[in-house]
Amino acid sequence: MLNCRQLEEGSLQQDPFEWAFVDRLFTTADAAAIAGSYPMDHFKTVRGNDGEKGYEYDVRSLIHMGAQSASKAEHLAPAWQQLATDLLSEEYRGAMSRLTNHDLKDLVIEANVFHYGPNDWMGPHLDLKEKVITHVLYFNDSWNPADGGCLNILRSSTPSDVHTEVPPIVGNSVVLVRSEKSWHSVSRNVGASGRSRRSMTVTFYPRGCNSTMWPPGAVAELHDFQA
């Protein structure tokens, strides 16, 4: 399902920080299958301001931190079950290690899928220091960048200081190497169509970290996402 060779052969950029744009991650048939069966179940709504960024979106766990199988796999389409398996593979971990020049073999991963509905967004921010590498993948079959909902690679914490804008088209992805310069944001989804902007993050953490998205012991109220 996931074209790990395309990842491995990607180019790590140094400006304005270490990051990579990698596209064509799926065949045409697989892209259609995975975009057409994007998860709609077991989401929670997250909104707030943590002092650095404002945000609002819906999120579902695909792989809980450190788990070796997909979350609520029985509710996932076969294409998504296979994608979760690919993300847990040594081939994927090795490709990400070679792309980023980081040895990721002893780190743990967490994967979450997101809906950014109308007016949802995420302000400029640096990822938490525990997030060594983050891979952001997209799953909309089409998208107009004028509608917002794009990932912005930023030169600074200023929202308008955009270096690169990446639309959330299936097969597109961005790899972020966390640093004190790795500013990025998601522009507000202002499209009149009301379509959700669909993405997934796969994050590599040192062992012993706890999930901030799904804190241990916390009970979240889950719902189906209403398109």
- CB-facing half-sphere around the CA of 189: CA atoms within 13 A: 21
Model confidence over 196-220: pLDDT tens digits? 999 999 999 999 999 999 999 988 8
222 located within any domain: no
Token reading at 54: 């404002």
212 located within any domain: no
Residues in Cβ contact with 185 at an 8 Å cutoff, skipping those fewer than 6 apart: 53, 121, 122, 123, 124, 125, 151, 152, 154, 159
- Count structural domains, the chain: 1
Q: What is the CATH number of the domain that holds 107?
A: 2.60.120.620
218 located within any domain: no
40 located within any domain: yes
217 located within any domain: no
22 located within any domain: yes
* Domain limits for position 86: 4-205
Q: Which ranges constitute the DSSP H helices of the chain?
A: 4-8, 28-36, 78-87, 90-100
Is the preceding omega at residue 16 within 30 degrees of 0, hence cis? yes
Model confidence over 53-103: pLDDT tens digits? 677 899 999 999 999 999 999 999 999 999 999 999 999 999 999 999 999
Secondary structure of residue 33 in the 3-state scheme: helix
Q: What is the pTM of this model?
A: 0.95
Give the residue from 47, 36, 45, 110 showing the smallest Cα distance to 80. 36
29 located within any domain: yes
66 located within any domain: yes
